[in-house]
């Protein structure tokens, strides 16, 4: 088990899939997801992404969930999801702000119960090769 897995294990619950805007798709994400879903890049953009230029925002459903979010909470493109999704919950907000970490810890069942912010940050630092 790796250092990050000591404090977080994705449960594919979908809690991090909620929220409008903020998850961006870049050309490499577009190619990977289109191939994974057996769609053309144009089809994927039309079905899942907001119009515009790169980086594209992933569209959300009326409730505010990412369009790749499935009713069972799983991600349709989990195997090739964008970097920001792969990095969750080790993002600048929870790493740099204790209240953002507390919000993430309350919402995300994948974070170890009772985890302290200092231990969360320490695990991320160790995984990145930082010394304590």
Q: Give exposure, 63-98, as e/b (b: 16+ Cβ within 10 Å).
A: eebbebbeeeeebbbeebbbeebeebbbeeebbeee
Residue 56 DSSP class = E
Host domain of residue 31: 4-121
Task: Kindly state whether residue 61 falls inside one of the protein's structural domains.
Answer: yes
- Number of domains forming the structure of the chain: 1
Task: Kindly state whether residue 130 falls inside one of the protein's structural domains.
Answer: no
Mean pLDDT over each residue of the chain, to the nearest integer: 88
Task: Kindly state whether residue 62 falls inside one of the protein's structural domains.
Answer: yes
Task: Kindly state whether residue 117 falls inside one of the protein's structural domains.
Answer: yes
Burial of 14 (0-12, 13-18, 19+ CB in 10 A): middle
Per-residue pLDDT of the chain (132 residues; tens, 9 = 90+): 456 778 999 888 888 888 766 688 999 999 999 999 999 999 999 999 999 999 999 999 998 899 999 988 889 999 999 988 888 999 999 999 999 999 999 999 999 999 999 999 988 886 655 544
Reported pTM: 0.78
For 25-62, the pLDDT digits (tens) are: 999 999 999 999 999 999 999 999 999 999 999 999 99
Task: Kindly state whether residue 128 falls inside one of the protein's structural domains.
Answer: no
Task: Kindly state whether residue 112 falls inside one of the protein's structural domains.
Answer: yes
């Amino acid at each position: 088990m790796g250092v990050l897995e000591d404090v977080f294990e994705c449960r594919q619950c979908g809690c991090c899939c909620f929220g409008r805007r903020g998850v961006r798709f870049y050309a490499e994400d577009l190619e990977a997801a289109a191939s994974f879903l057996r769609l053309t890049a144009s089809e994927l953009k039309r079905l899942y992404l907001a119009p515009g230029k790169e980086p594209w925002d992933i569209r959300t459903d009326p409730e505010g969930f990412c369009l790749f979010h499935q009713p069972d909470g799983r991600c349709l493109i989990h195997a090739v999801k964008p970097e920001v999704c792969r990095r969750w919950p080790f993002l600048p907000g929870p790493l740099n702000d204790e209240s953002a970490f507390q919000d993430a810890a309350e919402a995300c069942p994948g974070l170890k119960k009772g985890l302290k912010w200092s231990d969360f940050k320490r695990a991320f630092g160790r995984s990145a090769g930082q010394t304590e």
